[in-house]
């Protein structure tokens, strides 16, 4: 099982894929980079529900993520130490 997973730039990673990662790796996953992936708040909801022990998350450049998704993660993932929500410039 992965502790650190970098999916950055994998544009075909969707909410369903993120939910599968959260379900399969929830007990050990500590760091996840899903920057520039096609995930939305639904994917972040699944991550918050199934992987609350995550410590580092990057959603940099995820254009479909809103404040609601970030709030879900911030509320549920109490061990979170680093969150990258930087918007990519065009």
Residue with the two structure tokens 């990057």: 58
Domains of the chain with bracketed CATH: 4-84 (3.80.10.10)
pLDDT at residue 1 above 60? no
Structure-block tokens of residue 39: 């995930």
Residue 78, Cβ density class (10 Å: 0-12 exposed, 13-18 middle, ≥19 buried): exposed
CA distances to 36, 45, 60, 84 from 88, rounded to whole Å, are 9, 22, 7, 11
Bridge partner residues of 4 (DSSP) = 31
pLDDT band at 73 (very low <50, low <70, confident <90, very high): very high
Write down the pLDDT at residue 88: 79
22-71 pLDDT per residue, tens: 999 878 899 999 999 999 999 999 999 999 999 999 999 999 999 999 99
Q: What angle do CA 77, 59, 7 make, to 5 degrees?
A: 100
Cα dihedral 74, 90, 14, 79, rounded to 10, equals -20
pLDDT band at 2 (very low <50, low <70, confident <90, very high): low
pLDDT at residue 90 above 80? no
């Amino acid at each position: 099982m992965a502790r650190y997973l970098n999916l950055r730039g994998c544009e075909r990673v969707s909410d369903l894929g993120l939910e599968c990662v959260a379900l399969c790796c929830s007990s050990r996953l500590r760091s996840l980079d899903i920057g520039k992936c096609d995930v939305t708040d639904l994917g972040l909801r699944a991550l918050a529900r199934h992987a609350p022990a995550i410590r580092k998350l990057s959603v940099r450049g995820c254009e479909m993520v809103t404040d609601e998704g970030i709030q879900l993660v911030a509320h549920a993932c109490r061990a979170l130490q680093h969150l990258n929500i930087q918007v990519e410039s065009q």
